[in-house]
Structure 1
């Protein structure tokens, strides 16, 4: 086994009912996925919504229940594990302030993610391990080792995790090269799933999980998002899964746009169909959107394509 990867099979994990606890392996699997998606680009790892949501996804697949995922525990206790150099605490080093670092051993485990983020919001993976994980082949090997070592008690969990990793790595390849999301899907079901997942991930992150119409942003305690990624020009017509052909919307407004009741226009404002009767009380929530500005991504690369906006406005029910 590769020396840099071997440390992943020697984690200090708790046990429950004779099984290794899934917390640390799931966190490391989440980190592997984020490296391959190009979201983690150095040994320094940001503790952000993407990573925590990915951890919840993997924990649910491994343990069968999402609400019991407690990401602050592996984020904190992984600091006790040995890296490729064999030194205790070298695998994962939280970026604590000097004052906190002096008393870290006395703090005890945080009781929530908010408490943990008050202590640190970034940590560093051992640089030798990160350097190996820059290779997709090594990342796949690392994922296989983690799944085999810590989930041998459940062939079903192993199969679910392997499927997730395959889809995540395929999706990550699109996220790193979003220009590849324009054009036919190809014949592979996995390729279609990967494109769809990449579209969703890129759009929701571009809008910071905020609805482009209502401005609502809500992430549940178990890291499910209120908003959905909606195509401006449907894929069946455009064969375009690039994020510039997408917009983040709450489910009700996604439905309203798909049913041609509302549309974003190239003027970057919302337009409401004249078929929506403003005198009907139940219609007011839609009518109030008329001429309101779109919430736009901060990164200009991901702002909606003007031609796609024009197409969508042309479809508005008259």
Structure 2
């Protein structure tokens, strides 16, 4: 396999926006490359799911500085008009009830409208194979950026995002490697990105204390990935050393006001006055069950939970 395979990536039919080549299709392909490299997409049949869409929004924002204008339904629909190595670059898997009229359908007006037509598409098999190879994935990303964003003032931010995303993919595929001291800044950034992705996905983007789950229309998440034993002390970015928490509860745990215990219940610091109304939002957590990931392999480490209990303010 050579870089000849990637030539079709420079032949996308793209429009122009504000005097520059439109970012929609290039960003969708970059998102697919990232998700193949982190192991989320492992066949040419690509699911149009939350992870892919969030990645697309991230890349569009990195490329343009404008997250609100991303409109993923546009490239997801129009990419089917581009050629891959040996045929269509992107073939939607239309619902059987509309497959016979698919070619006559007009462009959907929203992501919801698009998902009513298809939720999967098949990527050109030669490109899929190329994107599975780490070096080819890097080459493909560099080629797309150089061709479609050559004069873009955001090019540096886009390259930085891609370098971090592709390196974090190695960690996501091998989460046991997310432990040990790191000296290089780029490695720490990649590890942090992998930690965040693995923790939030393990908890299905739901808070481990309140069960709150919210994803904005432009795919920002309410919850954050919180270390149980702080990284500065543990050098441990494995998802078993993390929880998904809303920002206020992340702050409360880091300030030792609350702790998830080895009994899988929440505990509140006794220094908090029961009779102070302002403390009620924390007091109500006491004794509540910790929301755990469904997969046991991602459930919090007992020693990490014990560390939190030992450091609760007394």
TM-score by length of 1: 0.95
TM-superposed deviation, 1:98: 2.1
The aligned residue for residue 80 of structure 2 is 79
1:143: which partner in 2? 141
- Displacement after TM superposition at 1:153 (Å): 2.6
Q: Which residue of 1 aligns with 2:38?
A: 37
Which whole-Å CA distance do the structure 1 matches of 2:307 and 2:289 have between them?
18
Instruction: Show the counterpart of 1:109.
Output: 107
Selected match of 2:249 from 246, 253, 263: 253
- 1:238-294 deviations in whole A, cap 9, x for unaligned? 111100000000000001111111110111111111112222112111111111111
User: Match for residue 178 of structure 2?
Assistant: 181
Alignment of 1:123-134 (within 5 A): 123-134=121-132
Q: How does 1:305-316 map to 2 (within 5 A)?
A: 305-316=301-312
Deviates more, 1:247-256 or 1:53-62: 53-62
Shift of 1:315: 1.1
1:152-191 superposed matches below 5 A:
152-154=150-152, 156-185=153-182, 187-191=183-187
1:32-70 CA distance string (max 9 Å, x none): 111111111111111111111111111112112111110
* In the alignment, structure 1 residue 294 sits paired with structure 2 residue 295: no
Cα distance between partner residues in 1 of 2:304 and 2:285 = 20
Displacement over 3 Å in runs of 4+: none
Q: Any residues of structure 2 matched to 1:16-55 within 5 Å, and which?
A: 16-55=17-56
| Aligned counterparts of 1:194 and 1:16: Cα–Cα separation in 2 | 31
Query: What is the Cα deviation at residue 106 of structure 1?
Result: 2.8
Alpha-carbon distance in 1 for matches of 2:173, 2:155:
27
Using the TM superposition, name which of 24-33 and 269-278 deviates more: 269-278
Secondary structure (helix, strand or coil) at the match of 2:46 reads: strand
Distance 1:17 1:253, change over 3 A: closer
How many residues in Structure 1 have an aligned counterpart in Structure 2? 313
Secondary structure of the residue that 1:271 maps to in structure 2? strand
Whole-angstrom CA distance in 2 between matches of 1:292 and 1:17: 52
- Give 5+ residue unaligned stretches, structure 1: none
